[in-house]
């Protein structure tokens, strides 16, 4: 666009101003303010006293914090591979020509539009003993003896499974759509050539489809790791972080420390640990994406 | 072989539909019935009495309205603010352009969850806790939207812009009569994704609002659930009422939603 220098600067500023105002006020400024908070005893009511590095020292020795980070990590480990594999399987189903093709696409994605609170409470009731959907369904198929019940939310590992299954059900739709559109971009000629050479479905999938999906798989995997690490509400509602805080993720601990224990300074300090972890993950993601760009 | 694919596909579809169907069926079940098997849920007597009760005795319909109002405001303002900024970054040759672009790009690395505690303090200092402004304003700065929209503006040829300038059109006219109309699909996709994001946003409203007249659905629902832990019908009625608007919206805008997700994935 041809503009005089001064005019360009003034116009650009006007166009950028609304964004810059909200961006600086609600993203950049809190980032900076947060650093200050970590050096103080800081409650919900007011700034109390300067305590230097005490919050940091406390953090390093706080086993609750590291346990919570570990729980978030467990959730990442449980959900990332399953999310990726299930999304590929669903995309394969919805990519096959059939009368139900459109229906499959809608059905696999519908849970993703539900509110996190709805998905979580649905999950909570689905996994209840006696009347919940899963146990009554297992009884119906005789997979579970009629007189026994599985208490999904009273044991740590069963709780992890329940929370992971619900999350999978609720959010796999996003990855599914990404895979589906990636699959539709693979040129038909490649498939036809493979068929002419006598390749079967299995070979076509491993030799053609999957290699073509590898760039998007890298992106999806990294995005999934980042979003799984930020898990909070599903676990908070379904297990409450229990049994015995054994499934409590780090974001829940930050919330409880800040708002239940009235210690915003320490909660802010924990936030920076999360920030550093996510920053490293994002940096890896950026690097992976850019490498993809070079090859493409 | 064919029938194995079909069977697997149907099982997958059932896995995704069953919880929603169960939610709907339980929600119209008569309260207080003895439930022993799955079949009991799916057989009469049915009743809509609980719907009336929930709608008349709780603030659920207010909260649905709040969720809509907040989501609509956030969507319109986010897209407007991002479109203005990305137009400047894409087409106006100003000083420090690459610096500003980098400054916005850096925002992609800052997760909202990590700044939520100081954001609470900042919002408190500004006195916008417990207000619609407090729910809306912090959600407006979306670096992702700026970067995605910029890449679409970049694709519009400069000759087109210069031809408008020759005809005497100003910058604002270029923006409104060329840039916006030509990127309408991208704007629509961005709007829909922002809407869904806002509709489902939980953490910030949960921390910043305590007045239950200002609740959005995700924060209101948990406050109702605690009261009915033994009973399944009311919770499912609440879930259903909260879900119907967004499911309808999805069915209407499915194509744009799918497109929007594909775009955001490509841009990472």
Chain B residues inside the 8 Å CB shell of A115? 199-200, 202, 217-218, 221, 242-243, 246
Q: Is residue A243 part of a domain?
A: yes
Rounded distance between C-alpha atoms, residue A159 and residue A153, angstroms: 5
Mean pLDDT in consecutive groups of 10 residues from the start of chain B, 268 residues = 84 92 87 74 78 85 90 95 94 90 84 84 90 92 88 88 86 90 87 86 87 87 71 86 87 83 62
Give the list of residues 6+ apart from residue A98 with CB closer than 8 angstroms, or none.
Answer: B6, B9
> Per the domain annotation, does A272 fall within a domain?
yes
Q: Which of B117, B146, B257 comes nearest A254 by C-beta?
A: B117
Q: Express each pLDDT in A271-293 by its tens digit.
A: 888 888 888 887 887 787 776 55
CA angle at B97 for the pair B95 and B98, rounded to the nearest 5°: 125
CA distance A84 to A91: 11
Structural domains counted in chain A: 1
Residue keyed to tokens 């499912």: B236
- A49 with B129: CB under 8 angstroms? no
The answer as to whether B133 is a domain residue is: yes
Phi, psi values for residue B29, rounded to 5°: -75, 150
Whether residues B208 and B106 share a domain: the answer is yes
Tell me if B13 is assigned to some domain: yes
pTM of the model: 0.85
Which residues touch A216 (CB under 8 Å, ≥6 apart)? A178, A179, A182, B265
Instruction: Specify the pLDDT at position A165.
Output: 94
B199 domain residue, yes or no: yes
Average pLDDT over residues A170-187: 89
Same domain, B142 and B24: no
Instruction: Check residue A24 and give its pLDDT.
Output: 94
Q: Specify the CATH number for the domain of residue B168.
A: 1.10.3720.10
Which of A25-34, A256-265, B112-121, B224-233 has the weakest average pLDDT?
B224-233
Identify which of A115, A180, A285 has the shortest CB distance to residue B217.
A115
Q: Which of B110, B158, B262 sits opposite A177 (nearest CB)?
A: B262
Same domain, yes or no, for B97 and B219?
yes
Is A175 inside any structural domain? yes
Are the Cβ atoms of B115 and A34 closer than 8 angstroms? yes
* B116 and B67 in a common domain: yes
CA A266 to chain centre: 25
Residue B173 lies in a domain: yes
Q: Name the burial class of residue A183, with classes exposed (0-12), middle (13-18) and buried (19+) by CB atoms within 10 angstroms of its CB.
A: middle
Residues B68 and B10 in one domain: no
Residues B12 and B76 reside in one and the same domain? no
Asked if B158 and B218 sit in the same domain, the reply is yes
Residue A19 lies in a domain: no
For an interface test with B, which of A19, A59, A96, A251 has the most B Cβ atoms less than 10 Å from its Cβ? A19
- Domain at A265, CATH number: 1.10.3720.10
Span A121-131, average pLDDT: 87
Q: Looking at the domain assignment, is residue B36 inside a domain?
A: yes
In a domain, B78, yes or no: yes
The dihedral over CA atoms of B100, B104, B105, B106, expressed in degrees to the nearest 10, equals 100
Q: Name the helix (H) or strand (E) containing B149.
A: helix B143-154
In whole angstroms, what is the distance from residue A48 CA to residue A35 CA?
15
* Burial class of residue B4, CB neighbours in 10 A (0-12, 13-18, 19+): exposed
What would the two tokens of residue B102 be? 């980098």
pLDDT of residue A85: 94
**Do the chains contact at A122 and B19, CB–CB below 8 Å?**
yes
- Domain carrying residue B25: 1-47
Contacts of residue B22 in chain A, CB cutoff 8 Å?
Answer: 126, 133
Structural domains of chain B, count: 2
* Residue A128 within a domain: yes
* Residue reference for tokens 């920076």: A272
B163/B184 same-domain check: yes
Question: Mutate which of A3, A8, A9, A16 to disrupt the B interface (most B C-beta within 10 Å)?
Answer: A16
Based on the fold, state whether residues B63 and B33 are members of the same structural domain: no
Q: Is residue B54 part of a domain?
A: no
Residue A5 in domain: no
User: Looking at beta carbons, which residues of chain A come within 8 Å of B41?
Assistant: 136
Residue span of the structural domain in which A106 resides:
41-295
Q: Do B141 and A23 touch (CB under 8 A)?
A: yes
Confidence class for position A296, pLDDT limits 50, 70, 90: very low
At B121 the three-state DSSP class reads: helix
Q: What is the average per-residue pLDDT within A108-126?
A: 89
- ipTM for the complex shown: 0.85
Is A23 a member of any domain? no
**Nearest residue to A104 (alpha-carbon basis) of B12, B240, B130, B134:** B12
pLDDT of B226 reads: 63
Residue B52 resides in a domain:
no
Q: Please indicate, yes or no, whether residues B42 and B128 belong to a single structural domain of this protein.
A: no
Q: Is A192 on the interface with B (CB under 8 A)?
A: no
Say if residue B42 is in the same domain as residue B76: no
- Does the residue A12 lie in any domain? no
Nearest to B118 among A18, A37, A106 (CB): A37
Bridge partners of A42, per DSSP, are A47
Q: Does the pLDDT at position A8 exceed 50?
A: yes
SS3 A246: coil
Least confident of A8-17, A72-81, A208-217, B66-75: A208-217
Quick one: B124 and B43 in the same domain?
no
């Amino acid at each position: 666009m041809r503009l005089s220098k001064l005019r360009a600067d003034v116009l650009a500023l006007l166009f950028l101003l609304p964004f810059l105002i909200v961006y600086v006020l609600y993203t950049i400024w809190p980032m900076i303010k947060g650093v200050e908070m970590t050096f103080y005893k800081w409650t919900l009511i007011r700034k109390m006293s300067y305590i230097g590095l005490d919050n940091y020292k406390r953090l390093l020795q706080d086993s609750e914090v590291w346990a919570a980070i570990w729980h978030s990590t467990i959730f990442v480990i449980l959900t990332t591979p399953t999310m990726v594999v299930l999304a590929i399987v669903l995309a394969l189903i919805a990519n096959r020509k059939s009368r139900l093709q459109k229906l499959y696409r809608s059905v696999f994605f519908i849970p993703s539009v539900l509110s996190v609170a709805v998905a979580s409470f649905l999950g909570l009731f689905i996994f209840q003993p006696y009347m919940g959907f899963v146990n009554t369904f297992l009884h119906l198929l005789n997979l579970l003896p009629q007189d026994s019940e599985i208490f999904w939310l009273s044991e740590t590992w069963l709780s992890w499974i329940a929370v992971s299954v619900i999350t999978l059900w609720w959010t796999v739709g996003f990855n599914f759509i990404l895979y589906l559109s990636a699959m539709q971009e693979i040129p038909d000629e490649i498939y036809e050539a493979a068929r002419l050479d006598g390749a079967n479905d299995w070979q076509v999938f491993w030799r053609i489809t999957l290699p073509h999906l590898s760039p998007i798989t890298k992106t999806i995997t990294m995005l999934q790791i980042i979003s799984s690490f930020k898990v909070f509400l599903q676990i908070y509602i379904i297990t409450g972080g229990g049994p015995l805080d054994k499934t409590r993720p780090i974001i829940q601990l930050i919330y409880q420390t800040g708002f239940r224990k009235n210690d915003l300074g320490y909660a802010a300090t924990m936030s920076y640990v999360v920030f550093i972890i996510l920053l490293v993950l994002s940096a890896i993601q950026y690097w992976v994406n850019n490498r993809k760009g070079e090859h493409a | 072989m064919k029938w194995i694919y079909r069977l697997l596909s149907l099982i997958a579809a059932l896995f995704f539909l069953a919880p929603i169907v169960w939610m709907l069926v339980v929600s119209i079940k008569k309260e207080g019935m003895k439930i022993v098997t799955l079949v009991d849920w799916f057989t009469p007597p049915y009743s809509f009495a609980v719907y009336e009760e929930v709608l008349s005795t709780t603030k659920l319909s207010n909260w649905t309205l709040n969720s809509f109002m907040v989501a609509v405001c956030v969507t319109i303002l986010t897209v407007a603010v991002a479109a203005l900024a990305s137009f400047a970054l894409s087409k106006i040759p100003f000083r420090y352009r690459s610096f500003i672009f980098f400054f916005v790009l850096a925002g992609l690395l800052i997760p909202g969850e990590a700044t939520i505690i100081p954001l609470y303090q900042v919002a408190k200092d500004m006195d916008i806790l417990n207000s619609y402004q407090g729910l809306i304003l912090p959600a407006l700065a979306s670096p992702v939207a700026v970067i995605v929209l910029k890449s679409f503006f970049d694709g519009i040829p400069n000759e087109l812009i210069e031809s408008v300038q020759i005809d005497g059109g100003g910058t604002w006219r270029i923006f409104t009569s060329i840039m916006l109309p030509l990127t309408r699909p991208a704007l629509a996709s961005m709007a829909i994704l922002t809407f869904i994001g806002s509709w489902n946003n939980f953490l910030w409203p949960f921390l910043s609002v305590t007045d239950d007249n200002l609740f959005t659905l995700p924060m209101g629902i948990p406050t109702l659930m605690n009261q009915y832990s033994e009973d399944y019908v009311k919770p499912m009625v609440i879930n259903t009422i909260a879900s119907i608007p967004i499911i309808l919206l999805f069915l209407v805008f499915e194509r744009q939603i799918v497109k929007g997700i594909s775009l955001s994935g490509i841009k990472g």
